Structure 1
Amino acid sequence: MWTEENNKLVKTFKFKNFIEAFGFMTKVAIVAEKMDHHPEWSNVYNKVVIQLCTHDAGDIITDKDKALAQAIDQFAN
């Protein structure tokens, strides 16, 4: 579940291993580039933490963030 923290949508994803986590990040990167909306994220081994906000709108959550979050969730299954 995405949570709102400090004007950002935040979610942590856990995978079996690093390869699965990195594969997930690759899929997200392709969609984010197509949407021209890029996440703030980090990866340590099997965990990926994603934070979304719209910098151009003053670092707040917008519909662009919600749309990207929805797209990201499709890859997490």
Structure 2
Amino acid sequence: MWKEEDNKLKKTFQFKNFVEAFGFMTKVAIEAERMNHHPWWANVYNRVEIELNTHDAGNIITDKDRKLAEIIDKLATS
């Protein structure tokens, strides 16, 4: 579940290993580029932390963030 904190949607994903985590990040990168809406993220081994907010709207959570979060959740389970 995404957590709303500091005007950001935040979630940590955990995978079996680094390759799975990196593959997930690649899929997210393609969708983010399509939307022209890029997350802040960090990756260490099998963990990916993602934060979403909309810079153009004053660094707040918008529908754009919620839509990307929904897409990211689907990618994490595919």
Q: Once superposed, which parts of structure 1, at least 4 consecutive aligned residues long, lie more than 4 Å away?
A: none
The Cα offsets for residues 19-40 of structure 1, whole Å up to 9 and x where unpaired, read as 0000000000000000000000
Query: What runs of 5+ residues in structure 1 fail to find an aligned partner?
Result: none
How many percent of aligned residue pairs carry the same amino acid? 71
TM-score (norm 1): 0.99
Corresponding pairs, count: 77
Name the Cα RMSD after superposition. Answer: 0.3
Question: Which position in structure 1 is the counterpart of 2:43?
Answer: 43
- Are 1:5 and 2:28 counterparts? no
- TM-score, normalised to structure 2, is 0.98
User: Structure 1 counterpart of 2:46, which letter?
Assistant: N
Secondary structure of the structure 2 residue equivalent to 1:60:
coil
Unaligned runs of 5+ in 2: none
Deviation at 1:10, TM superposition (A): 0.2
